[in-house]
Amino acid sequence: MNIITTADERFNNYIYERTMNTIQKSTQISKVGEKARRRFFNSLHEKIERRKASLRKAV
């Protein structure tokens, strides 16, 4: 775990706002339906398989 400490209020506010913005734009997969969760993980699996195939061809 990485930790950063500062007393710079502007920096702290900037990081807080960026974090809150990211959270608001994110979809929490633990709270969405099973269909969306499966789509998400299937998409990741397909990307991994495509990358593995391209690496095999390169060797």
For residue 2, is pLDDT > 90? no
Q: What is the pTM for the complete model shown?
A: 0.45
Domain span holding position 52: 9-58
Please spell the DSSP secondary structure of 1-59, one letter per residue.
--------HHHHHHHHHHHHHHHHH---TTTS-HHHHHHHHHHHHHHHHHHHHHHHHH-
* pLDDT value of position 23: 87
Is residue 2 assigned to a domain?
no
Is residue 38 assigned to a domain?
yes
Average pLDDT, the chain: 88
Is residue 1 assigned to a domain?
no
Is residue 52 assigned to a domain?
yes
The tens digit of pLDDT for each residue in 32-58 reads: 678 888 888 999 999 999 999 999 998
Total of domains in the chain: 1
Is residue 15 assigned to a domain?
yes
